[in-house]
Structure 1
Amino acid sequence: MMTLTDEVKREIGQHFVFGFHGHEVSEDIKTLIQDYHLGSIILMKRNVHDAKQVRGLIRQLQTIAKEAGHERPLLIGIDQENGLVSAFSSPTAGTQFPGAMALAATGSVDIAFDVSAATAKELKMVGINWAYSPVADVNSDSRNPVIGVRSFGDNPADVARYASAVARGLTSSGVAPSAKHFPGHGDTHIDSHLALPRIMKSKDELKRTELVPFEHLVQGINPVASVMIGHMALPGLTGDDTPASLSPVVTKELLRKEMGYDGVVVTDCLEMDAIAVPLQGGCGVEEGAIRSLASGIDVVMVCHTFARHIGSIKATYAAVESGRLNFSDLVEGGKRIARMKETFIGGWSEVLGEESDDAAFEEAWKSLKAGNTELSRKAYQMSSTVVRGKDKLPLKLVEEAKVVLFTPAIESLNKAVDDADGVLMDAAGRLRNTAGPSYLALADQVQKRAKTRHVVYSPNDIEVKGITADVGAVIFVLRNADRSVWQTQYLDKVVEACKAIPVVLLASCGPYDLAGRADLRDRTAYVASFEFRREAFEAFVAVVFDGLEGPGRVPVGL
């Protein structure tokens, strides 16, 4: 039996990263820092109002930690992949930059580096020092519901090049990257937010695809600062259905011993159903925390629920007391955490030194944002890809001709992308706005170029709406139509109704919408933007109406 001294409890607290709710310091997170010695915090969209607010919030959190006797400052992490998963990006906070597949579409690792370095400068300026990025998953299954355009593509070597550029960019501006989701979440069509995916590949097969990017990231002169382990079963590697995040075969044997990695290893959030819900194959959050630490994980992530935060730490106390968890292993992991803190944070003087006044911060922030906004515009323009039908662009409209813009009714995409805080959904889970804010922004952009009729089409629509004699062109938007086949069914009716009217198709998320639809090749122009973001749509409109086009390419085989 081991005695739970204050020193032991302080060590255990360093092995967790927890989230909290609200734009201000909550009593819950204060309790976790003061009484349970929590060493790391994850901020989410629910914590971000604007840059000034986040800066003040983080300073308060660090002050609480210092006054509570923490030896080192807190790691402050955030899901900032850019693209669809951008917890810090908003008009009042960080710049919206292209995500992985869009960056790969530019064909430039230099752009990927520059975008990531610029992102990290913004994060660092407000006190965030850990980004859960880059996504190093190879999107080898186009049906993947949780990775998709969050991946750089389906070629392992290309994913390795771009993921490495992102990691280097973040590191260059003082933010610790975290390559995810080891050993690879790309070859599955199951969402680990909802159930446990099983990837039926042998170790040799994993080495040829999934592990290629991670080998680039964890080996070499400057290995990535941290790696996030995913919630997927790999029975061909481990011999059973134990999730990777709980498997010593994955962390201790493969990542540590065979690949030689000695940086920080963190779990994906244990509140995902693959771990949290026994009916989905999980063991529960508290038990998951013990098993992940026993498997060689350094930091356990639990994002949402205070009771589970307390429960996970208390379960770890009991496991250390009973000898189920080897405390000396935790100490070794604690040294890795301390090294990362020293490298990317420094000491208390770095996080709580002289604070510039608000006016000076806001001026510096304004200047940084101005430059980053221009970089974002350039990157989105370079990523916009005319997949086919270049001869049909730009649109040539006669005066007074209308453009009909068809956008799909919004459906839930996945829990990594969907708004978790009820902004898009009401309490009953119903969509508040079936057009979606991004598609309303697209309609505004098109309206600036031509008289526009905006039609939101849905799975229940039978008759084509909006095609009248004064229509000069149609822009038809798809969002993952390879899974939501009702979109292409409606598209077929629109194309039939248009006859001689030009039709431009926009792939507004994954580029797989029209795989196998060669019959549309001669009838339409097809443009991929990879993200349903206002910034991506601005670039699309420039392509369609001005003929502006960068070197965009589709970074997947179709």
Structure 2
Amino acid sequence: MALAATGSIDLASEVSEATAKELRAAGINWAYSPVGDVNSDPRNPVIANISDASNVARHVRAVSAALTSGRVAPSAKHFPGHGNTHVDSHLSLPSILVDKSALKATEVVPFEAVVRDGIASIMTGHMALPLVTGDDTPCSLSRTITTDLLREELGYTGVIVTDCLEMEAVAEKYGSEGGAVLSLQAGADIAMICHTFRRHVGAIKATYAAVGEGRLSMDALKTSGARIAAMKDKFAGNWGDVFIPFDADLAAKLKEDHRLLSARAYAASLSHIPNTRPFTPLSKAGPAVLFTPRMENINPAVDDPEGQLRDAAGRLRNTAGPSFLALAASIAKRAPVVEHVVYAPGEEISGTLGDNLRGAASVIFVTRNGFERGAWQVEHLRRVIEVVRGESGLQKMVAVSSCGPYDLLAAGKLKVPGIATYEFTIPALEAAAAAVYGEMDISGTIPVTMAVPDNV
């Protein structure tokens, strides 16, 4: 969504070309990118990038072509489209109530475009389309979607890989191992299981059993093997090409070469939230108060607020934590004093914090996936506004959505400026810090439809 917000297909291509070079340097020759989902549901918590199907198609084609030219196999995802839902398939099965004609008119458009281009691979998604398939089978396990629609109707001849079968949309009902067999029966070439070794082993055993029992065709598996081999020949080469020593100097040089491109892209992506208060750069003349939300389990694969996933040094592994600390450090370069508040549901603002808010020269309030599932974040923003209240108080505030821009749909009614970064990565938030203090223009355009719900 960040690249889409820049409005530049050329920039999307440049970034993708740079990405391919760095991936190749790290020994990676297959990327699960680009995202081809058309974002038509503002409550979508995890994916999709643009609301206009033809615009999505242009970006998907550009990214795919750039990766391919860099000898990294692209994989458009999540066929036939995960944008028209607010249910996160990491957690449960989304059901999208559109018929086939509507599906092909919108969701399928970007995928059809890259099928014509001969994209190396396409990833199927875990969503149900009961008006298309006649039941609640996930598309990744559905022969109607994988074979009838993608293979036969669209004429796709490349590799089909499923989304991770450990996601609850599949695992809860079918199990990852059972899902692997069902996906291969549906026509997938690769059943993806990302994390758990016992599930890898279980899926292989289940597949062997399915072949032995006649539930899975060996001829179909051989055809899949030929497709996979063709992709490997094109993008991986031989074992000598793959097992080359890692060149740390080359990787460092590429990172430095691309640093300015990265900064330019992040700066160009920053966007005003429509219908919020006009933005005025914050003052560096006094103390700053930064609010960031407590760590939450947004993606079970990488986020763990309860501390069960830790790195080698014993630090909590959560994708948001280091980024928010980096944001605080970036603000500290601009304001003489920074108070970093990690807020949580139901907390009141009183005492010293209330005094500090009223005395601050700038207040930055950050949300992360705060629309619907994290509505408590907007409630806390209301509390902060109540404390700083008044025209002068609102002028020293800015709200930053660090994931989907929908977080701040209510910001227009809350009368504070809103800025979207689209990511809670360190460079995205460092760009936001520079922007809120007036060091760069905010020139991006939110690429999805924004409408304020009546109930906020």
User: Given the two structures, how large is their TM-score scaled by the length of structure 2?
Assistant: 0.89
What's 2:150 paired with? 255
What's 2:94 paired with? 197
What's 2:174 paired with? 283
The one of 29, 34, 46 aligned to 1:129: 29
C-alpha change, 1:557 and 1:434, in structure 2 (3 Å) is closer
Is residue 57 of structure 2 the alignment partner of residue 168 of structure 1?
no
What's 2:454 paired with? none
Quote the offset at 1:122 in angstroms: 1.2
What's 1:533 paired with? 425
**Secondary structure of the equivalent of 2:66?**
helix
Is residue 267 of structure 2 the alignment partner of residue 372 of structure 1?
no
Quote the offset at 1:497 in angstroms: 2.0
Is residue 282 of structure 2 the alignment partner of residue 395 of structure 1?
yes
5 Å-filtered alignment, 1:55-74, equals none
Q: Which structure 2 segments of 5+ residues have no match?
A: 451-456
Distance 1:421 1:493 in 2: 26
The one of 368, 378, 387 aligned to 1:497: 387
Distance 1:250 1:301 in 2: 17
What's 1:51 paired with? none
Aligned residue pairs total 437
What's 2:362 paired with? 473
Is residue 11 of structure 2 the alignment partner of residue 111 of structure 1?
yes
C-alpha change, 1:302 and 1:392, in structure 2 (3 Å) is closer
The one of 197, 210, 228 aligned to 2:107: 210
What's 1:383 paired with? 269
Give deviations 1:266-288, integer Å, cap 9, x for gaps. 111222222222xxxx2222322
C-alpha change, 1:201 and 1:416, in structure 2 (3 Å) is farther
Quote the offset at 1:216 in angstroms: 1.1
Q: Which amino acid aligns with 1:376?
A: S
Give deviations 1:463-498, integer Å, cap 9, x for gaps. 242443532221111223222222222222222222
5 Å-filtered alignment, 1:61-460, equals 101-147=1-47, 151-219=48-116, 222-277=117-172, 282-352=173-243, 355=244, 361-387=247-273, 392-398=279-285, 401-415=286-300, 418=303, 436-450=321-335, 451-460=337-346
**Aligned residues of 1:135 and 1:180 also touching (Cα < 8 A):** yes
Distance 2:144 2:278 in 1: 54
Q: Which amino acid aligns with 2:384?
A: V
What's 1:548 paired with? 440
**Aligned residues of 1:138 and 1:186 also touching (Cα < 8 A):** yes
Give deviations 1:520-541, integer Å, cap 9, x for gaps. 34xx222111111210111111
C-alpha change, 1:313 and 1:493, in structure 2 (3 Å) is closer
**Secondary structure of the equivalent of 2:361?**
strand
Distance 1:434 1:274 in 2: 22
C-alpha change, 1:392 and 1:350, in structure 2 (3 Å) is closer
Distance 1:206 1:379 in 2: 32
C-alpha change, 1:248 and 1:390, in structure 2 (3 Å) is same
Further displaced range: 368-377 or 401-410 = 401-410
- Identity across aligned pairs (percent)? 52
Distance 1:120 1:135 in 2: 16
**Secondary structure of the equivalent of 2:437?**
helix
Distance 1:182 1:244 in 2: 8
Quote the offset at 1:114 in angstroms: 1.2
Q: Which amino acid aligns with 1:463?
A: I
Quote the offset at 1:443 in angstroms: 0.9
Q: Which amino acid aligns with 1:506?
A: V
Quote the offset at 1:442 in angstroms: 0.8
Further displaced range: 132-141 or 470-479 = 470-479
Distance 1:170 1:330 in 2: 27
Quote the offset at 1:372 in angstroms: 1.5
**Aligned residues of 1:393 and 1:547 also touching (Cα < 8 A):** no
**Aligned residues of 2:38 and 2:83 also touching (Cα < 8 A):** yes
Distance 1:336 1:432 in 2: 37
**Secondary structure of the equivalent of 2:45?**
coil
Distance 1:305 1:518 in 2: 44
Further displaced range: 130-139 or 465-474 = 465-474
Distance 1:172 1:432 in 2: 34
**Aligned residues of 1:138 and 1:187 also touching (Cα < 8 A):** yes
Further displaced range: 365-374 or 441-450 = 365-374
RMSD (Å) for aligned C-alpha atoms: 2.5
Distance 2:143 2:341 in 1: 52
Distance 2:167 2:278 in 1: 46
What's 1:557 paired with? 449
C-alpha change, 1:431 and 1:461, in structure 2 (3 Å) is farther
**Aligned residues of 1:265 and 1:299 also touching (Cα < 8 A):** yes
**Secondary structure of the equivalent of 1:343?**
helix
Quote the offset at 1:424 in angstroms: 5.9
**Aligned residues of 1:146 and 1:416 also touching (Cα < 8 A):** no
Distance 2:260 2:73 in 1: 25
Quote the offset at 1:445 in angstroms: 0.7
C-alpha change, 1:424 and 1:299, in structure 2 (3 Å) is closer
Quote the offset at 1:167 in angstroms: 1.1
Q: Which amino acid aligns with 2:85?
A: T
Q: Which amino acid aligns with 2:186?
A: S
C-alpha change, 1:195 and 1:390, in structure 2 (3 Å) is closer
Quote the offset at 1:408 in angstroms: 1.8
C-alpha change, 1:283 and 1:236, in structure 2 (3 Å) is same
Quote the offset at 1:362 in angstroms: 2.5
Give deviations 1:275-314, integer Å, cap 9, x for gaps. 222xxxx222232222211111111112223232222222
Quote the offset at 1:551 in angstroms: 2.8
Distance 1:286 1:491 in 2: 44
Distance 1:236 1:435 in 2: 38
Q: Which amino acid aligns with 2:444?
A: G
Distance 2:259 2:34 in 1: 21
**Secondary structure of the equivalent of 2:41?**
coil
